[in-house]
Amino acid sequence: MEYTYTTIKWDEKSSISINNSKFIAMSFRVENIEDVKSSLQWVAFHHPKTSHICSAYLLRNGESKSDDAGEPSGTAVSPILNKIKSHEVVNVLVVVIRYFGGIKLGKSGLIQAYSFISNEVLEMSDKVSIEIMEDISVTAPYKHLNKLMRLLNRFKLTTESTESTTTMVTLHIKYPLKIKEEFVPDLLRFSKNI
């Protein structure tokens, strides 16, 4: 089981010119499809006169999608997605904007250009390892609150939020996946004693 994943720290940008065509690559850290859509809308808004906005993303859950945006099939998205995979990062969107300069590059020229600029922007993007977290809620009688807090202290955790009634307390907790087997059974003991 994996307890961490690698992504990029922050967004980056790189550009090259080949035979009068300008290629601008941007890497975005994304968490979900909504982030992908938002980033693509931002790019389209800031580059309304571009010839092509090609993109590919890979999420932690394995979901990926790419868009050639009018370039010959496989000349843009395959190189972009392959570079994301070769850098072994997830939750990443790479967008390459092309301003056509009037000289056709041919299929192999396009593949080389999209591959080069995608690799360059990912090389520039600092990588970071993220610990995978899970959420859990436990409801227990108030008489167990001190024991629950000692358990949280033992694992160096805090509550995300709490709810309470006159006799019960509910704790919402975020914890690292790597401690699940040790932490969750102890935590759930308190809710079983209701």
pLDDT of residue 165: 85
Q: How far apart (Å, rounded) are the C-alpha atoms in residues 96 and 108?
A: 17
Question: What is the predicted pLDDT for the residue at 66?
Answer: 83
Alpha carbon distance 53, 175 (integer Å): 39
What residues contact 70, with CB distance under 8 A and at least 6 apart?
Answer: 51, 52
Query: What is residue 61's three-state secondary structure?
Result: coil
DSSP one-letter code for 105 = -
Q: Tens place of pLDDT for every residue, the chain, 194 residues?
A: 688 999 999 899 999 898 888 999 999 999 999 999 999 999 999 998 887 899 999 999 999 988 777 787 888 889 999 999 999 999 999 999 999 887 888 888 889 999 999 999 999 999 999 999 999 999 999 888 899 999 999 999 988 888 888 888 999 999 999 999 999 998 888 775 43
Characterise 24 by phi-psi region: left (phi > 0), alpha (psi -120 to 50), beta (else).
Answer: beta
The predicted model scores a pTM of: 0.79
The pLDDT assigned to 193 comes to 46
Predicted confidence at residue 90, as pLDDT, reads: 97
Name, in order, each residue with C-beta under 8 angstroms of 166's C-beta and a sequence gap of 6 or more: none
